């Protein structure tokens, strides 16, 4: 997947570019100009979400996506949809956010109430199989139609009270439970973290470790 950063000097851009130190081929996947952009990946929580997105992009096809991280966090990121629609030709938005301490129902209910607040007409198009952590909404504002894919990070298999994208990484490191995936990930040394990230060079490992993200990225690649 080709990546185009809407803010080239942002932390997100820097963190993804730094993946080259682990020999991920990000350099050849990062575009400095694009004529058209149909899909935007919006990070609700920042890092290490950005690195995971960079790694996922390395394992996908040739579609070009914009990548951005708004100042607003988590579900509040959905409040920026109208700004993103100022980009000509955007018709698909993929939001990635941590589950944190909320239930999935409460997260999606918040998302839907933000849609209403923003004057976005929506219809839940699909939830996906055994993961309820990905939802696809068909949305519109006036005659502008677009899809919103929402991915909630976190693994129920990792026993903790606060589910985040770090759950996926820390399980890969061999942990099954803890106070939170984030705290445990932060307690690892730099070398240990790099060791885990390096495992993600294997596409099959990525697919297993980040099932909902991998699935959502495949949706982005497809014409859902």
Packing angle, helices 49-58 and 211-221, rounded to 10:
50
Identify which of residues 78 and 214 has a Cβ nearer to other proteins in the complex.
78
Smallest distance, Å, CB 45 to other proteins? 13
Identify which of residues 43 and 170 has a Cβ nearer to other proteins in the complex.
43
Smallest distance, Å, CB 115 to other proteins? 16
Identify which of residues 42 and 149 has a Cβ nearer to other proteins in the complex.
42
CA 34 – CA 42 distance, rounded (Å)? 18
Smallest distance, Å, CB 146 to other proteins? 13
Identify which of residues 89 and 123 has a Cβ nearer to other proteins in the complex.
89
Smallest distance, Å, CB 100 to other proteins? 20
Per the CB < 8 A criterion, the answer to whether 98 and 163 are in contact is yes
Per the CB < 8 A criterion, the answer to whether 149 and 93 are in contact is yes
Strands 64-68 and 39-43: parallel
- Which two structure tokens, joined as six digits, stand for 39? 């899909």
Identify which of residues 28 and 86 has a Cβ nearer to other proteins in the complex.
86
Q: If we measure between CA atoms, which residue out of 170, 222, 218 comes closest to residue 57?
A: 218
Smallest distance, Å, CB 36 to other proteins? 8
- Residue-level length of the chain: 224
Neighbours of 163 (CB within 10 A): 24
Identify which of residues 5 and 175 has a Cβ nearer to other proteins in the complex.
5
Neighbours of 114 (CB within 10 A): 16
Smallest distance, Å, CB 170 to other proteins? 27
Burial call 21-57: b when 16+ CB within 10 Å, e when fewer: eeebebeebbeeeeeebbbbbbbbbbebbbbbbbbbb
- Applying CB under 8 A, the residues found at the interface with other proteins are 6-10, 12, 33-37, 42, 68-72, 80, 83-84, 86-89
């Amino acid at each position: 997947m080709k990546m185009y950063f809407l803010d080239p000097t942002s932390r997100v851009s820097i963190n993804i570019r730094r993946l080259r130190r682990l020999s991920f081929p990000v350099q050849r996947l990062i575009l400095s100009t694009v004529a058209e952009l149909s899909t935007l990946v919006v990070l609700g929580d920042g890092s290490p979400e950005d690195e995971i997105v960079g790694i996922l992009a390395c394992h996908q096809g040739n579609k070009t996506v914009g990548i951005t991280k708004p100042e607003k966090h988590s579900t509040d990121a959905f409040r920026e949809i109208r700004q993103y629609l100022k980009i000509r030709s955007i018709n698909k938005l993929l939001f990635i956010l941590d589950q944190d301490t909320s239930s999935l129902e409460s997260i999606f209910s918040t998302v839907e109430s933000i849609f209403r607040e923003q004057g976005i007409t929506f219809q839940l198009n699909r939830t996906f199989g055994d993961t309820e952590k990905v939802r696809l909404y068909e949305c519109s504002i006036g005659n502008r139609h677009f899809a919103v894919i929402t991915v909630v990070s976190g693994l129920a298999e990792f026993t903790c009270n606060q589910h985040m994208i770090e759950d996926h990484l820390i399980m890969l490191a061999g942990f099954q439970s803890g106070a939170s995936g984030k705290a445990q990930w932060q307690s690892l040394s730099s070398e240990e973290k790099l060791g885990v990230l390096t495992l993600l060079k294997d596409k099959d490992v990525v697919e297993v470790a980040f099932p909902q993200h991998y699935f959502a990225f495949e949706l982005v690649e497809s014409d859902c």
